[in-house]
């Protein structure tokens, strides 16, 4: 029983390490082009949802990397300029998209992040 618990912990640590290395090592590139690239939701799903999830709450991998819940009042209180800066430059383990996405695309991403705000 104790040996199995250790194996689970090791496997979890390996998965976390691989995810962290992938995020830190690989330069992001937009995965959407053409008309779909003009849609903030499509851009978000292609470039951000792997860690932030489609609804902004954070995937399991994202939560292990301590990503923000983009629906939360704390994330939503950030100004558009602050959110733009995070998208451009990155934050903590999140890579930046400067030179990868246009200013217009980033503006649409920020608008989509605003749409994720928790209702109620």
DSSP-derived secondary structure for the chain = -HHHHHHHHHHHHHHHHHHHHHHHHSPP-----GGGGG-HHHHHHHHTHHHH-TTSS--HHHHHTT---TTSHHHHTS-HHHHHHHHHH-BTTBPP-BTTB-HHHHHHHHHHHHHTPPP-
N-to-C CA span, the chain: 45
Q: What is the pLDDT of residues 19-41, one digit of tens each?
A: 554 554 444 444 444 444 459 99
pLDDT for the residue 41: 95
Complete domains list, the chain, with CATH: 2-115 (1.10.760.10)
pLDDT for the residue 32: 41
């Amino acid at each position: 029983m104790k040996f199995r618990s250790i194996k689970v912990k090791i496997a979890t640590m390996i998965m976390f390490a691989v995810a962290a290395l992938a995020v830190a090592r690989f330069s992001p590139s937009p995965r959407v082009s053409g008309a779909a690239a003009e849609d903030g939701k499509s851009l978000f799903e292609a470039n951000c949802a792997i860690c932030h999830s489609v609804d902004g709450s954070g995937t399991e991998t994202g939560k292990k990397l301590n990503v923000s819940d983009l629906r939360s009042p704390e994330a939503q209180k950030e100004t558009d300029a602050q959110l733009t800066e995070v998208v451009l430059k990155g934050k903590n383990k999140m890579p930046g998209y400067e030179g990868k996405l246009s200013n217009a695309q980033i503006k649409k991403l920020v608008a989509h992040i605003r749409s994720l705000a928790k209702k109620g």
